[in-house]
Amino acid sequence: MATGRFDVALNQSEYDKNPEAFQQSTHLHIRSEIEEFSVSQHLNIQNADILDLGCGEGRFARYFMSNGANSVTGIDLSTALIHLAQQQNNWHGKIQYILGDVTELPIKPEHFDIVSGIYLIPLAEDTHTLERIFSVACHALKPGGIFVNILLNPSIVESDNFPLLDDYYRKYDFEISHQLPIKEGSKILVKLYNSDGSLFELIDHHYSLDAINAAANHAGFHPSQIHPVEISPKGIHSKGRQYWESYLSNPAICLLISKKHSLKTH
């Protein structure tokens, strides 16, 4: 079982040390054939103004613009990833990238239709930071706006089947290790094996749906809804349905949709 010790010092600096390996990891089938497609099934991107918290090298910002968004503002703490994002920005005037901490920067209130946090929640090291993330998203959203996240699947991490065998996800070019006991904020090591031979490692954190909803409710959201990820038609065609069966039996990630209250509460 994947219960070994690991270096808990991995943090945002890992993105600055290995930005190219991180970017390569976005091309893995387990990411490229799931993430954008799953998000697209639950969002109306057309003409939307979008805030991308933890935007990384701009992959989702580019995806949003390619699919009809009006504008995207991306914020990330990594200098190297923001640099990569700016290098690939073909929508000058439509995509703006800002270097900084998503929980600290001043953001225009109630300006955005959608806020995205792709793997942002797992970066929260404690419930206080988790609450701050939801507070920032709610502050930025128009009433009735949507906060969309991709995160580690709480039901898998908390299930009797977890931890899975060490090599369970290896055919999909990633591995997950953890430390017991599983609790709010538990650290989980994710290893991504890129096709060019590079390895990208990062520390994610687990939060239960109860903890997430507590943070969401406190910020001003309706209860969050978890949705299973879906495989794109391209992914099914290129790899075959059988390839995806074991992953879909225990999907490591899920989609989280949080809707801001339409009216201000007092």
The CATH number assigned to the domain holding 125 equals: 3.40.50.150
Q: Give the per-residue pLDDT at 139.
A: 96
Count Cα neighbours of 224 within 13 Å in the Cβ-side half-sphere.
30
Report yes or no on 6 lying in a domain. Answer: no
Report yes or no on 163 lying in a domain. Answer: yes
The separation between the first and the last C-alpha atoms of the chain, rounded to the nearest angstrom, is 48
Report yes or no on 202 lying in a domain. Answer: yes
Report yes or no on 78 lying in a domain. Answer: yes
Mean pLDDT score of the chain? 89
Name which of 4-13, 171-180, 203-212 the model is least confident about: 4-13
Helix (H, G, I), strand (E, B) or coil at 116: strand
Q: What is the mean pLDDT of residues 23-32?
A: 92
Q: Give the per-residue pLDDT at 166.
A: 64
Task: Tell me: pLDDT of 189 over 60.
Answer: yes
Q: What is the mean pLDDT of residues 175-189?
A: 86
Residue 105 pLDDT level (bands cut at 50, 70, 90): confident
Task: Tell me: pLDDT of 4 over 60.
Answer: no
What tokens appear for 130 in the block?
A: 């988790």
With CA atoms as reference, report the closest residue to 116 among 156, 173, 63.
Answer: 63
Q: Give the per-residue pLDDT at 16.
A: 83
Residue with the larger pLDDT of the pair 239 and 160: 239
pTM, full prediction: 0.91
Residue with the larger pLDDT of the pair 179 and 46: 46
List of residues 6+ apart from 8 with CB closer than 8 A? 187, 203
Report yes or no on 3 lying in a domain. Answer: no
Task: Tell me: pLDDT of 195 over 70.
Answer: yes
Report yes or no on 82 lying in a domain. Answer: yes
- Full residue range of the structural domain in which residue 222 is found: 13-259
Tally of domains in the chain = 1
Q: What is the mean pLDDT of residues 147-168?
A: 82
Q: Give the per-residue pLDDT at 13.
A: 63
H helix runs in the chain, sequence order: 13-17, 19-25, 29-32, 35-40, 59-66, 79-87, 127-140, 154-157, 209-219, 233-239, 241-249
Residue with the larger pLDDT of the pair 34 and 262: 34
* Inter-residue contact 238 to 244 (CB < 8 Å): no
Place of tokens 């017991």: 180
Report yes or no on 264 lying in a domain. Answer: no
Report yes or no on 140 lying in a domain. Answer: yes
Report how far residue 146's alpha carbon sits from residue 113's, in angstroms, rounded to the nearest whole number: 7
| E strand or H helix that includes residue 74 | strand 71-76
Q: What are the CB-based long-range contacts (under 8 Å, 24+) for 155-163?
A: 155/209, 155/226, 155/254, 156/250, 156/251, 156/252, 157/182, 157/186, 157/188, 157/206, 158/182, 158/206, 158/208, 161/250, 163/1, 163/2, 163/3
Q: What is the mean pLDDT of residues 228-236?
A: 95
